Amino acid sequence: MRFLLIVKATPQSERGEMPADVERLMVDMGRFNDEMIAAGVLLDGAGLQPSSAGKRIRFEGLGHAVVTDGPFDNVSELASGYWILNCKDTDEALAWARRVPFSSGALELRPLAEPEAFADLVSEEEVQKERDHRAEQLRKAPKPKV
């Protein structure tokens, strides 16, 4: 199962401020990410720039998108980073989430909707197309440099 582990934004991250202990945090995060890579759990992860650098796209009818420039309100609803994890179940993903080397802040853990979630809603052909699409994404994804 794949999971999205979201790092929730803070007023400081939205101002683009690094934590006072940024050097320690980078070392600890590097070690933690290395452990997840070695365990075959980490598929992707990155920090995000503040929402002031972002855009929000809202759809108002087919083909009509309205774009709003950041920054966005409700900091507690924003993300400042993410990991995509591949774990056997929610308990394993939660165990990794509990080990994130943060001294403050919040995370949100959510399972990704896999193709099988649509099995009763669309044809088997469409489910298989989605499986094939994801396999092709993995095949073409850049491989980590070791």
Low-confidence ranges of the chain (pLDDT < 70): 142-146
E-state strands within the chain: 2-8, 42-47, 55-59, 65-69, 79-86, 107-111
Q: What is the pTM of this model?
A: 0.85
pLDDT for res 68: 97
3-class DSSP state for residue 129?
Answer: helix
pLDDT for res 33: 96
Q: Are 76 and 93 in contact (CB under 8 A)?
A: no
pLDDT for res 109: 98
pLDDT for res 144: 59
CA distance 71 to 69: 7
